[in-house]
């Protein structure tokens, strides 16, 4: 998934003159439904890398919705902000972004992502734009997507354990979680409750220390998170971490995590296979947040329905592992095949995410 070979539909760009921020809304595919994806806000080295990030992440959303059999299309927004953006200026930026969403008139729906919260979605929605999911419950939204994403990752970890050890329970398995942000911390709670031996790495020593005290997990230095010996590695921070340099240093049986866009390129999936590492494709594993929140807010699902849909990730992942095995391709290629098949024939109108 590189910018050079992008097959998407459109990229809308906007300079925010007041703050110097640049906004990129990448619309990858409306084949299954309106492009829907999070709004990521962070500082990038340059505008080109922000634009490419938006495009790659929009493509990942196309695959995410298709693999989850959910009738939405792939899109993503990136707001590249200057490093010293102040809170008051940030709020103005969010409001102008809200008006941009209204101008787009439903060509793109959004929710929270790295660098944006449910309260940010509230601010965006205050402009009157109806194209925003994951507002706070006080404002009528379904709240942040982190806990749903964590539930989906947990279900995927059970599937990977079942494949590797013949028993889905993560009990007594050593699991390294890389990144203790929104999703990582909630995943660690679930894993600890299930009796896994959890170790975590994060440059934010304070957040890590709090988890260690509360749950008795092991804290490991952030730079050694990828190579720590374990049964299973769960990347829950930023993307691009599985590459030619890191893959030879891995010390794990499987990779199952929430981060978007973990593979630096498609050839990494083969490298992982050659090393005997079972890779659970990120866009299958991390669909829980998007599916649950959009199901609740756009389709009127109750919590039970949302939970069933998110737990359905386990079954999808089982099919991906089976297909990879039976056709001798990487798990990533198998998951893409499943998604592309859905993109060809459309989602099942009766299925709504199952």
| Contact present, 106 and 132 (Cβ < 8 Å) | no
Q: Is 222 in the site for ligand PHE (CB under 6 A)?
A: no
Q: Is 307 exposed, middle or buried (0-12, 13-18, 19+ CB in 10 A)?
A: middle
Per the structure block, which two tokens stand in for 204?
């934010």
CB atoms within 10 A of CB 9: 18
Listing DSSP states for 175-241 in one string gives EEEE--SHHHHHHHHHHHHTT-EEEEE-S-HHHHHHHHHHH-PEEE-GGGTTTS--SEEEE-S-S--
Q: Is 62 in the site for ligand PHE (CB under 6 A)?
A: no
Taking the C-alpha atoms of residue 190 and residue 193, their distance in angstroms, rounded to an integer, is 5
Q: Is 146 in the site for ligand PHE (CB under 6 A)?
A: no
155 or 230: CB nearest ligand PHE: 155
**Part in contact with ligand PHE (CB under 6 A); list of ranges 32-40, 187-195, 199-207, 309-317:** 32-40
In the Cβ-directed half-sphere of 279, how many Cα atoms lie within 13 Å? 29
Beta bridge partners of 233: 176, 255
Taking the C-alpha atoms of residue 305 and residue 311, their distance in angstroms, rounded to an integer, is 10
Out of 75, 112, 184, 225, the residue judged to bind ligand PHE by CB under 6 A: 112
113 or 231: CB nearest ligand PHE: 113
Q: Is 75 in the site for ligand PHE (CB under 6 A)?
A: no
Q: Is 113 in the site for ligand PHE (CB under 6 A)?
A: yes
Out of 8, 33, 38, 75, the residue judged to bind ligand PHE by CB under 6 A: 38
**Part in contact with ligand PHE (CB under 6 A); list of ranges 106-114, 174-182, 314-322, 345-353:** 106-114
CB atoms within 10 A of CB 226: 21
Per the structure block, which two tokens stand in for 61?
């959303």
152 or 170: CB nearest ligand PHE: 152
230 or 259: CB nearest ligand PHE: 259
| Number of residues binding to ligand PHE, judged by CB under 6 A | 14
**Part in contact with ligand PHE (CB under 6 A); list of ranges 46-54, 105-113, 198-206, 220-228:** 105-113
Q: How far is the CB of 149 from ligand PHE (least distance, A)?
A: 7
Give residues 241-270 in contact with ligand PHE (rule: CB under 6 A): 260
Q: Which of 51, 64, 72, 76 is catalytic?
A: 76
Residue whose entry in the numeric block shows the structure tokens 């110097």: 20
Q: Which helix (DSSP H) or strand (DSSP E) does residue 37 occupy?
A: strand 35-42
Residue 64 a catalytic site member: no
Taking the C-alpha atoms of residue 185 and residue 137, their distance in angstroms, rounded to an integer, is 21
Q: How far is the CB of 330 from ligand PHE (least distance, A)?
A: 22
**Part in contact with ligand PHE (CB under 6 A); list of ranges 33-41, 159-167, 264-272, 300-308:** 33-41
List the catalytic residues. 76
Chain contacts with ligand PHE (rule: CB under 6 A): 36-38, 111-113, 133-134, 145, 260, 289-290, 293-294
């Amino acid at each position: 998934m590189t910018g050079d070979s992008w097959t998407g539909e459109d990229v809308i760009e906007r300079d925010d003159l007041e703050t110097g921020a640049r906004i990129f809304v990448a619309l990858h595919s409306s084949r299954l439904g309106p492009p829907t994806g999070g709004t990521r806000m962070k500082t990038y080295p340059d505008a080109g890398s922000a634009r490419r990030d938006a495009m790659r992440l929009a493509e990942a959303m196309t695959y995410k919705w298709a693999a989850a059999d959910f009738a939405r299309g792939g899109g993503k927004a990136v707001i590249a902000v200057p490093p010293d953006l102040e809170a008051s200026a940030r709020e103005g930026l969010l409001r102008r972004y809200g008006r941009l969403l209204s101008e787009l008139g439903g060509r793109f729906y959004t929710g929270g992502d790295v660098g944006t919260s449910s309260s940010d979605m509230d601010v965006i929605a205050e402009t009157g734009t109806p194209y925003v999911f994951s507002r706070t419950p006080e404002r009528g939204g379904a709240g942040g997507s982190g806990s749903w994403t964590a539930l989906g990752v947990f279900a995927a970890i059970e599937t990977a354990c079942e494949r590797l050890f013949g028993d889905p329970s993560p009990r007594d398995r050593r699991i390294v979680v890389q990144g203790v942000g929104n999703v990582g911390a909630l995943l660690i709670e679930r894993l600890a409750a299930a009796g896994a031996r959890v170790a975590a790495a994060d440059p934010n020593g304070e957040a890590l220390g709090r988890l260690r005290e509360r749950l008795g997990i092991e804290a490991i230095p952030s730079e050694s998170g990828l190579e720590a010996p374990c049964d299973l590695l769960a990347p829950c921070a930023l993307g691009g971490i599985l590459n030619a340099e890191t893959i030879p240093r891995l010390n794990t049986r499987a990779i199952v995590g929430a981060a978007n866009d973990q593979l630096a390129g498609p050839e990494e999936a083969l490298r992982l296979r050659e090393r005997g590492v079972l890779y659970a494709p990120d866009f299958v594993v991390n669909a829980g947040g998007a599916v649950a929140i959009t199901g609740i807010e756009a389709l009127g699902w109750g919590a039970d329905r949302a939970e069933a849909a998110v737990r359905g990730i386990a079954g999808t992942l089982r099919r991906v592992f089976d297909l990879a095995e039976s056709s001798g391709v990487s798990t990533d290629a198998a998951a893409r095949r499943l998604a592309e098949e859905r993109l060809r024939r459309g989602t099942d109108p009766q299925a709504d995410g199952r």
